[in-house]
Structure 1
Amino acid sequence: MSTTSSGVGYRAVLRVPGLTSVFVAHAVSMAGTVAAQVALSILVFERTGSPLLSALVLVCSFLPYALGGIALSSVSDRFPARRVLVCCDLVSAACIAGMLVPGLPVGALLGLLLLTGVVAPVFAGARAGSLAQLLDAELFPVGRSLLRAIAQVTVLAGFAVGAVAVAAVGPTWLLALDVVTFVASAALIGFGTPYTPAVGRTGNTVQDSLTGLRYLWGNIPLRRLILLSWVVPAFSSMPDGLAVAYTAQTGAATTAAGALFAGYSVGGILGELAAARLTPDTRRRLVIPLILLSQTPAIAFIAEPSVPIAAVLLAISGSGYAFNQGIDPLILNATGTEYRGRLFTVQTSGLMAIQGVSIALAGAIGTVLRPNLTICLAGLIGTTVTLLLARRALS
């Protein structure tokens, strides 16, 4: 069912019938999700006065990805993608709507947030699996790149505007808006996207998910590629966990940490845009250079650069994340059609989990070493480890 469209780049992807709705839905639901994280963090803090419980909002946003990726990955293959995507959006909308119940205990709020995190990787896996059916091999990595670019833009805008929106309308109204965004996403997908058939077997969901996990992990070339797609951002995202501490170390106001967060995201967007315009062969040849670009700028933190220079270094690092456009076709080719939904679900859940762990690890090491030394160490180890992994995965 793969559809070919002449040309390269994002415009070629968007010319494929029905795909504009996919990406608009992604932008709408992402905007609501980011706004909800900001709103819920503030709501929990207002009710409890506890910074720890407020911080648990982000933990509960990442933690369930592992559970959803392991236990429910087969859903992405066993049912038509459009049905899975709509159901996931409606489940998320129902969970956010539940948070609007007056006086709901904080534990219940976090529990509902955990549930949205469980379905999130299933949604991501089904969406990527449908792209693999709708796009040819040349455009598929560009389609995934566009999803990442939209996510980066939305995160930048969402966290910048979220706090202002909460101040203007309050966290409850912002959560209500998130319900609307999920329903809108479900409508866009349900009525505006092409049908793609199920490709997997019927049976026990958890058993099929574990079977798929064994298949993916037992395929050595595929395993190496998946590990590479996890480990590169695991190291390059470590400075995010130390952004506030690093700005304090330089003597700048802690609010300047936003420049570091923005730097990485802006670099990621620019890198995706540039790589999407290249030919598939060029993107493949640039995998190792882009991986090195994602890791080596962190080494320069040994010199304790000023916040503006540090932001530029992180932008350079973020641009290297476009290496995915070179390995996505390799991952796709190494996977049987009936396992692709499970592949993308596991890949997404593992990526979120390992990034959460790496950021927490950076924070822990940063309590022993100076923040700039911790970032430099991450760059040194990351450069070595990712280069070794890349050479094995691409050999």
Structure 2
Amino acid sequence: MNAPPSRTFGEPRGARCTRPHEVTSRKHHWGQPVARTLTSTRGNTGMGAVLRVPGMPAVFTAHAVSMAGTLAAEVALSILVFQRTSSAFLSALVLVCSFLPYAVGGTLLSSLADRFPPRRVLVCCDLLSAACIATMLIPGLPVPALLGLLLVTGFVAPLFQGARAAGLSHLLGADLFPVGRSLLRTISQSAVVSGFALGSVLVAAIGPLWLLACDATSFLLSAALIGWCTQATPAADPDGERTLRSVISASADGLRHLRANPPLRRLIQLTWAVPGFSAVGDGLAVAYTAQAGAPVTTAGVLFTGYAAGTVLGELIVARMRPKTRGSLVLPLVLLSQLPLICFAFGPPLPMAAALLLLSGAGFACNQGIDPLILAGSEPALRGRLFTIQTSGLMTVQGVVIAVSGALGSHTRPGLVIAVFGVLGALTVLWLAWRSPAAKWGVR
């Protein structure tokens, strides 16, 4: 479990504007969402302001708990599959099954994020994931069944993230919404820095099955925090049909909306391209470590470099004024790609980690892009659009990592990273150039 708004760009017909210093939130009262007004000021738009909104600490605590459990469980499941099969291929399929379902689940089920209240969707997704992980604990369960259960959890993940973003858009004001999504990304990257290492230690200490049990518990705890400690928000499209056929048809409305709205489509594609191309550094980290003549066991410094850069960038940009964040979109998207070009010269491992840190810091561009996406989208379609955004991001990352890995087996990994850096810089520059709001920071 890895986002905004003023109404000057891409104003959809019939969209409701909010006054500059006034935003609408919801307060849970006897199970019903009751409208109330929150005041937002330009001088109070950092992460502390987000955490002071009622229910927000529970949202971020739930994310941290489930994220830590998920990362540790990936390590546990990979080891468990390898122990049962001695197959490196089947063990690697654990990560593939974590990426693959995003494209399908985000495309077919995205409308559920709009047709049901976000909090109900979140709790149901958490409970389904907990049930799947708990089923993995059945002794002697075949490996195909383990992978199938993992696919189900991946299938609902984009729906969960889309519904959560839709809920945040109700609870947070125009200036706080991008900071809220930034905080989610910061938690995710912090978990990446520590989660895999902690998972390895815990597997050695308590075994993979107990670690999977902890993951199931983390989903239950997340469901409890969201269900009992967060505010209720209304469904964006509560009157839509809820049959499977209508859900799939309505999910396609989000794709049609993007096709008919080029500025919005390019903004979402920009959020895919930035991490999609820069993920090559992570995908080839082990191979590049070997190319640099260092022990492959030290490859973790490259993984840590990118994740630490992401956290650092998010924290710095979150402290800036909303207008400043918007004006930094173009510099930050270029920062995410340009450092990768230096890998063509084969920098030593410490310098390579510093380059990835700079690249990761560029991911904070989303704090300027997210308000533009929210302002340019129809309110009734936001859950679908955020689900599609998450699905596309994960799919693009998976494809690029796979392609770069194949190329890295035939040529120098550093050269492959540099080539993708060039391609990424040209792509994000073109997308930003075709999106005047992203190009000039218009809000």
TM range (shorter): over 0.9
Query: Over residues 291-350 of structure 1, what are the superposed CA-to-partner deviations in whole Å (9 max), with x where a residue is unaligned?
Result: 111101011112101111100100000000000000100000000110000011000011
SS at match of 1:251: coil
Query: Over residues 185-214 of structure 1, what are the superposed CA-to-partner deviations in whole Å (9 max), with x where a residue is unaligned?
Result: 000000000000111142121111112221
Paired residue for 1:339, among 367, 378, 381? 381
| Distance in 2 between residues matched to 1:212 and 1:320, nearest whole Å | 28
Letter in 1 for 2:240: T
Paired residue for 1:124, among 147, 152, 161? 161
Aligned residues: percent identity?
A: 63
Confirm or deny that 1:214 pairs with 2:256.
yes
SS at match of 1:388: helix
Paired residue for 1:40, among 66, 77, 93? 77
Greater fraction of residues in helix? 1
Paired residue for 1:284, among 321, 326, 334? 326
- Partners of 1:5 and 1:16 within 8 A in 2: no
Letter in 1 for 2:303: F
When the two structures are superposed, what TM-score results if normalisation uses the length of structure 1? 0.99
Deviation at 1:5, TM superposition (A): 4.1
Per the alignment, residue 197 of structure 1 pairs with 234
- Partners of 1:5 and 1:13 within 8 A in 2: no
| Distance in 2 between residues matched to 1:279 and 1:173, nearest whole Å | 45
| Distance in 2 between residues matched to 1:188 and 1:262, nearest whole Å | 29
- RMSD (CA atoms): 0.9
| Distance in 1 between residues matched to 2:347 and 2:191, nearest whole Å | 28
Letter in 2 for 1:229: T
SS at match of 1:268: helix
Deviation at 1:365, TM superposition (A): 1.2
SS at match of 1:369: coil
Query: Over residues 134-171 of structure 1, what are the superposed CA-to-partner deviations in whole Å (9 max), with x where a residue is unaligned?
Result: 01111000000000000001111111111010000000
Matches within 5 A, 1:1-395: 1-2=24-25, 3-6=38-41, 7-200=44-237, 201-203=239-241, 204-394=246-436
Aligned positions, number:
395
- Partners of 1:5 and 1:15 within 8 A in 2: no
Query: Over residues 45-66 of structure 1, what are the superposed CA-to-partner deviations in whole Å (9 max), with x where a residue is unaligned?
Result: 0000000000000000110001
Deviation at 1:216, TM superposition (A): 2.5
- Partners of 1:39 and 1:166 within 8 A in 2: yes
SS at match of 1:350: helix
Letter in 1 for 2:227: G
- After TM superposition, the structure 1 stretch with the greater mean CA deviation from structure 2, 6-15 or 265-274, is 6-15
- Partners of 2:40 and 2:175 within 8 A in 1: no
| Distance in 2 between residues matched to 1:359 and 1:372, nearest whole Å | 14
| Distance in 1 between residues matched to 2:436 and 2:120, nearest whole Å | 35
Deviation at 1:393, TM superposition (A): 1.7
- Partners of 1:268 and 1:322 within 8 A in 2: yes
| Distance in 1 between residues matched to 2:90 and 2:64, nearest whole Å | 28
Letter in 1 for 2:182: S
- After TM superposition, the structure 1 stretch with the greater mean CA deviation from structure 2, 143-152 or 367-376, is 367-376
When the two structures are superposed, what TM-score results if normalisation uses the length of structure 2? 0.88
Query: Over residues 209-237 of structure 1, what are the superposed CA-to-partner deviations in whole Å (9 max), with x where a residue is unaligned?
Result: 11222112321111010111101111111
Deviation at 1:18, TM superposition (A): 0.7
Letter in 1 for 2:186: A
Deviation at 1:132, TM superposition (A): 0.4
Structure 2, unmatched stretches of 5+, are 1-23, 26-37, 438-443
Query: Over residues 25-71 of structure 1, what are the superposed CA-to-partner deviations in whole Å (9 max), with x where a residue is unaligned?
Result: 00001011101101000000000000000000000011000111000
- Partners of 2:289 and 2:349 within 8 A in 1: yes
| Distance in 1 between residues matched to 2:435 and 2:62, nearest whole Å | 34
Q: List 4+ stretches of structure 1 deviating above 2 A.
A: 1-6
- Partners of 1:92 and 1:116 within 8 A in 2: yes
Letter in 1 for 2:210: W
